[in-house]
Amino acid sequence: MSSVKLSSCVHHHSVRKSGSVPGSNRCFLRTPPFLLRQKFTALSVVREESNASIIHQEEAQSLSFDFMSYMIGKASSVNQALDSAVSLREPVKIHEAMRYSLLAGGKRVRPVLCIAACELVGGKESVALPAACAVEMIHTMSLIHDDLPCMDNDDLRRGKPTNHKVFGEDVAVLAGDALLSFAFEHLASTSGVAPARVVRAIGELARAVGSEGLVAGQIVDISSEGMDSNDVGLELLEFIHVHKTAVLLEAATVLGAIVGGGSDEEIEKLRKFARCIGLMFQVVDDILDVTKSSEELGKTAGKDLIADKLTYPKLMGLEKSKEFAERLMRDAQEQLQGFDSKKVEPLLALANYIAKRQN
């Protein structure tokens, strides 16, 4: 019996100008050691005993760790920092549009990951906040642009009308552009950290959002719309979501570890952890898209099905998708072995939250 090869939790993927996307002649990439080279089969047979012990450890820790209070406290710090960073100033209209989406709520998973990773390697929340806010600004930019009529054409985000519905398409494009550029300016303002580490963090974030990161996932996603699922496989779907979704969760975690003073070994273990939970985030998102209502999600449900996009339930089926998410959870947990058992509790709880979220 074969099993899923979880290589993308270990290896970095990048878009190249040689080769082609399976089933498409519209985008080009060299096939890396993808997560899913083999057919999806029973996932629970691999490393079952060690995985069970990790899960039991995580469940025991969750009894003593108040995750809700932790999330509320960290999200409050992030919200205050974002409100202060992007204040209402001239030109008023563009800053209104930026603030409308940036302060519209949201789970703040990425900035909390950044702070938790920083604290895990010995850093302080105050040191991580500029990086945490920078990632959230870029995430918000991606949502504003993703909702535009020329992209996903969505009218609802976080339970509110999307940015272009309130301010118009022209202002929405500019608001996203402004958030993207300001994210790097804000990250560069990090104090109390060695300049070399700040530069490293800026480079990490730039790669995550550029033509071999977030943009790569977006362009392959756009090009795959309407493709026959029989002509494409899980390799292509994994490429899209490792780049489109997982890359920012990975960047958030890695940035936290960098500014927090983590060693190269610690940074790479946290990178692998974040890549696994980043892909799990998208698998769960795909599942929720076909099992929840728009009211429950706070955004339009079933839009991927309407747009005929590639999703995990479409290619694997709903139950296999759920099993795959569980496997990714176990692999993510493995990467946290060896860290301080108390300091690692927030990341374990965050991974569990992503796996079990309902919106």
Task: Report the length, in residues, of the chain.
Answer: 359
Q: Of the candidates 19, 39, 38, which has an alpha carbon nearest to the alpha carbon of residue 29? A: 19
Cα-Cα-Cα-Cα torsion 334, 336, 340, 345, nearest 10 degrees, comes to -100
CA 351 – CA 327 distance, rounded (Å)? 12
Beta carbons of 208 and 251 less than 8 angstroms apart:
yes
In sequence order, the 6+-apart residues with CB closer than 8 A to the CB of 318 are 287, 290, 291
Q: What is the pLDDT of residue 294?
A: 59
Q: What is the pLDDT of residue 16?
A: 34
Q: What is the pLDDT of residue 44?
A: 31
Q: Residue 12 has what DSSP assignment?
A: P
Q: What is the pLDDT of residue 72?
A: 94
pLDDT in tens, 129-145: 999 999 999 999 999 99
β-bridge mates for residue 156, sequence order: 161
Residue ranges in the chain whose pLDDT is less than 50: 1-8, 10-62
- Rounded to whole angstroms, what are the CA distances from 134 to 130, 242, 264? 6, 20, 22
- Rounded to whole angstroms, what are the CA distances from 83 to 77, 96, 111? 10, 11, 14
Q: What is the pLDDT of residue 32?
A: 35
β-bridge mates for residue 161, sequence order: 156
Residue-by-residue DSSP string for 156-207: EETTEE-HHHHH-HHHHHHHHHHHHHHHHHHHHT--SS-HHHHHHHHHHHHH
Whose structure tokens read 């950044």?
Answer: 114
Domain ranges of the chain: 65-354
In sequence order, the 6+-apart residues with CB closer than 8 A to the CB of 80 are none
Q: What is the pLDDT of residue 293?
A: 62
- Rounded to whole angstroms, what are the CA distances from 160 to 17, 80, 84, 96, 289? 39, 21, 22, 15, 17
Phi, psi torsion values for 326, nearest 5 degrees: -65, -40
Q: Helices 109-120 and 67-85 meet at what angle, rounded to 10?
A: 110
Phi, psi torsion values for 126, nearest 5 degrees: -60, -35
Residue range 65-354 forms a domain whose CATH class is mainly alpha
Q: For the beta carbon of residue 196, count every other beta carbon within 10 angstroms.
A: 9
